[in-house]
Amino acid sequence: MHPSSVMRAASLEEAVEVLAERGPSAGVVAGGTDLAVRRRRGLPVPEVWVDISSISGPARDIVRSQDRVVIGALATFRAIAASDLVRRTLPALYQAANIMGSVQIRNRATLGGNIGNASPAGDSLPPLIAGDATAHLLSSRGRRDIPVEDLFTGPGQTCLAPDELVEAVSYPVLEGAWSGFRRVATRASHDISKMSAALRATLEQGRLAAVRVALGAVAPVPLRVPDVEAMIDGRVFNGALLDAVGLAASRAARAITDVRSTAGYRADMCGEVVVELLESFIRDRRDPSGRAGLQQRRA
Ligand SMILES: Cc1cc2nc3c(=O)[nH]c(=O)nc-3n(C[C@H](O)[C@H](O)[C@H](O)COP(=O)(O)OP(=O)(O)OC[C@H]3O[C@@H](n4cnc5c(N)ncnc54)[C@H](O)[C@@H]3O)c2cc1C
């Protein structure tokens, strides 16, 4: 299916007015990297494309606002991958932005589009969930906020109303927090994750705290795993903890077998990757100058 018309919006406010007028047959296009693929494959795309790609200003900005970092929905992955603010405050998102797609894709692909596309394998989603991020939504009826972890209802589906879009995403700056992202994929670029994970934590008097763990591509939606978090929170890091966490993370997966991987492999990788992230955290804390290492594992 091809769009029957494309309307260029001068602002997000104008875009949501058009969405409200045109009803469910209309949809926004930002970088177009997902929508172009859908169109090429003959999959359903909106009849009316409301093009928000040329909107400038706050919709593209990445700024600190008091104790939060706010990222406009039109911020590209290239901008996020180059942001020192994101690198310092949510390294997991910075790492995901640096390995997603290819340079050409990162130049166009937006954070809002990654959320709107709602793929369980969307690489920004585990980092945002692990970072306690909130999505700021806009419609012609006003604004509302939803935790990113509550946005997704199924593969390709969100709880956004047809006339609603993501205006921005923000996350709290947690002093002293570490975060990391890993994904398992066959190739370094032009590939979709077989599974991915993000972990955020702090270390307080030798004990792990403020723990968040999120998994991608192992369930119909990106998944926060409170059971695994509860096992880590308040504990001292040691080998026994790693074994238990690995097992729990594997069990948390609700993976399916598809063209990219098998359910069993994905579940195994959940355990391995979450353990790797915990080990990286402890290594970085012991040697703050050290690097966390590769964010992607070939498989
Ligand atoms: C070759 C290739 C490689 C890729 N590699 C990766 C990868 O490694 N990791 C990964 O995660 N993704 C990857 N992708 C997928 C894609 O690039 C991302 O999902 C990207 O972030 C989509 O952003 P966009 O601006 O291009 O979205 P668009 O294609 O413009 O839109 C995608 C969907 O989101 C909706 N949307 C757009 N903006 C908003 C908004 N502000 N609010 C609400 N809904 C909105 C649209 O209506 C549409 O349904 C890849 C794609 C290609 C073609």
Q: Within the chain, which residues score under 70 in pLDDT?
A: 1-3, 187-191, 287-299
pLDDT for res 258: 81
pLDDT for res 285: 82
Instruction: State which ligand 1 atom lies nearest to the alpha carbon of 38.
Output: 29
Counting the structural domains of the chain, the total is 3
**Amino acid identity, residue 113?**
G
Quick one: 131 and 210 in the same domain?
Answer: no
For residue 295 and ligand 1, the question of a CB distance below 6 A is answered with no
Quick one: 47 and 61 in the same domain?
Answer: no
Strands 26-29 and 48-51 turn out to be parallel
CA–CA dist 292, 45 (Å, integer):
40
Quick one: 117 and 132 in the same domain?
Answer: yes
For residue 169, list its beta bridge partners: 71, 135
* Cα–ligand 1 centroid distance for 34 (angstroms): 4
The CATH number covering residue 38 comes to 3.30.43.10
Q: Strand, helix or coil at 276? A: helix
Quick one: 240 and 201 in the same domain?
Answer: yes
| Domain final residue, candidates 148, 172, 196 | 172
Beta-sheet strand order (sheet of 195-204): 223-224, 207-216, 195-204, 178-185, 296-298
| Domain final residue, candidates 152, 172, 192 | 172
The CATH number covering residue 130 comes to 3.30.465.10
CB proximity list for 296: less than 8 A, separation 6 or greater: 99, 182, 183, 184, 185, 188
Quick one: 96 and 166 in the same domain?
Answer: yes
For residue 9 and ligand 1, the question of a CB distance below 6 A is answered with no
**Amino acid identity, residue 70?**
V
Q: Tell me the best of 98, 107, 117, 153 to mutate to test the pocket of ligand 1, counting ligand atoms within 8 Å of each CB and taking the most.
A: 117
Quick one: 153 and 202 in the same domain?
Answer: no
* Cα–ligand 1 centroid distance for 4 (angstroms): 21
The CATH number covering residue 277 comes to 3.30.390.50
Beta-sheet strand order (sheet of 62-65): 62-65, 68-72, 165-172, 134-139, 142-147
Quick one: 12 and 64 in the same domain?
Answer: no
Quick one: 148 and 224 in the same domain?
Answer: no
pLDDT for res 297: 62
Quick one: 194 and 165 in the same domain?
Answer: no
CB 35 within 8 A of CB 49: yes
Both structure tokens of 82: 């180059």
pLDDT for res 289: 58
* Cα–ligand 1 centroid distance for 31 (angstroms): 7
Quick one: 232 and 156 in the same domain?
Answer: no
| Domain final residue, candidates 150, 172, 194 | 172
Provide the residue range defining the domain that includes 194: 180-298
Quick one: 45 and 66 in the same domain?
Answer: no
Distances (CA, A) of 254 to 119, 149, 214, 216, 222: 15, 16, 13, 10, 10
pLDDT averaged over every residue in the chain: 92
